[in-house]
Amino acid sequence: MTFIPVILSGGAGTRLWPVSREFHPKPFIRLPDSQSLLQKAFLRAAALDDVAEILTVTNRELFFKTEDEYREINHSGMSTSFILEPFGRNTAAAIAAAALHASKAYGNEATLLILAADHLISDQTAFSDAVRKARALAESGHLVTLGIRPDAPETGYGYIEADGTCVSRFVEKPSAQKAAEYVAAGNYLWNSGIFCFTAGTAISQMEQHAADVLDTVRTCMEASRVVTAKGFSQTDLDTTCFEQVPSISIDYALMEKSDRLAVVPCDIGWSDVGSWNAIGALTGSDGSGNCIEGEAILHDSTNCYVRGEDRVVGMVGVSDLVVIDTADALLVAHKERTQEVKEIVRQLSERGHESSKIHRLVHRPWGTYTVLGGGERFKIKRIEVKPGASLSLQMHYHRSEHWIVVNGMAKVINGEKEMLVNTNESTYIPAGNRHRLENPGKLPLVMIEVQCGEYLAEDDIVRFEDTYGRV
């Protein structure tokens, strides 16, 4: 039977701020080995047997960044498909879309393995074995989940009461006392959020238990734009239709209601990497229990986790702290309270602060830009354009731009003129001029942009033509 791993990539990851942001969420966080959580999920899926394609359900705004992440590691040329959501509607909608996609492309017998993009699994052999068992149960008509044998009374996970592969009930995140009782009982498992079922079983069970989700997603799929090519498919979900889709998790919508459940108990080295403590545990510690990423000097300090980027971090006489230093935001938290980092993000969002959404380094389909500085009427950026890529043909009402090429060569449209601008050359774009920047070369184009004007926000842009469908 056709086998399709489905990677659900979304969520804000607010407990991992300031590295995780709305437009750079948790799946894109790089671990000490330089791979992102999303890349690890892709490689984990690609290593399984008989994979026909890897289907990713993600936000439309994260598509090009996701493509870049996959391109970096997909050396085997694994077929990829994407379902792009205009905004989040929780896991039931994402899984319904995946099931409908698989049913149309491969038939109801296609087997789906639902994976989260932001989890870690350290034992690939045990994982592969658990998936084989789950596939066998799924092909006999069950909705299967992988249940993790608990090694501690965790209160941050949901639990499954089970008898062998039979599911008695799902249990919400418990109190510390209840969690201890569950671990002592021996027949409770952590709910991993990893599911396996055929497309037909998922559709028929959703028709019975979550028809409102399935029907609205089906209508949305039928109204959506689909792009297909060899080894690639992209479904761009219609925004108007998707607004009608209920927002509910697959656990509430289906798994807690169905009588077709099964569980595979397993030990696969699973973690949902839900806090900076969990990330810090992946880094080796020194003799004082300190875990350090980046450049940091600690004196008379113990049991701290430090993650720095561009600056040296110095710490004296402290213990049990998490320090996360990025270009535009610094987090200092006690290790016992890292779950509360999301409260910082909530307050930043309420204030409309940009640091809740984006980094100074911003990814775009054509490359990246970094805000280097600015003032009341000016902003300075470093822009890097991928080889062969181009920005949209665009115009700004309120700002002019000075472009200085520092590496590579730029092809520039400026009003009625088209020109090549070489390294150590510059050009000036007046406000109101149609313009376009392109990298015609084989190396990255790097330039410094100086914006001047009364209004410098990113929404002062009119696109006339765009390679990436953003007109």
Model confidence at 231: pLDDT above 80: no
Using one digit for the tens of pLDDT, what is the confidence trace for 188-199?
999 999 999 999
CA distances from 244 to 11, 210, 240, 247 (A): 20, 14, 7, 9
Per residue in 73-112, pLDDT (tens digit) is 999 999 999 999 999 999 999 999 999 999 999 999 999 9
Span 446-466, pLDDT tens digits: 999 999 999 998 899 999 998
Q: What is the DSSP letter of 44?
A: H
Q: What is the pLDDT of residue 28?
A: 95
What does the pLDDT look like over 151-182, one tens digit per residue?
999 888 899 999 999 999 998 889 999 999 99
DSSP assignment of 381-440 equals: EEEEE-TT-BPPEEE-SSEEEEEEEEES-EEEEETTEEEEE-TT-EEEE-TT--EEEE--
Closest by CA position to 111, among listed 99, 125, 127, 128: 99
CATH superfamily assigned to domain 3-271:
Spore Coat Polysaccharide Biosynthesis Protein SpsA; Chain A (3.90.550.10)
Between CA 395 and CA 330 the distance in angstroms is 35
Reported as a single tens digit per residue, the pLDDT across 298-345 is 999 999 999 998 899 999 999 999 999 999 999 999 999 999 999 999
Residue 35: how many CA atoms within 13 Å on its side-chain side? 19
211-225 pLDDT tens trace: 999 999 999 999 998
Query: What confidence tier does 67 reach under pLDDT thresholds 50, 70, 90?
Result: very high
Give the span between the Cα atoms of 54 and 170, in whole angstroms: 28
How far is Cα 244 from Cα 221, in angstroms, rounded to an integer?
A: 12
Architecture of domain 361-465: Sandwich (2.60)
CA–CA separation, 83 vs 217, rounded Å? 12
Give residue 29's Cα distance to chain centre: 8
Out of 22-26, 137-141, 306-310, the most confident range is 137-141
Entry pTM: 0.90
pLDDT at 426: 97
Give the separation between CA 471 and CA 465, rounded to whole angstroms: 6
Domain ranges of the chain: 3-271, 284-344, 361-465
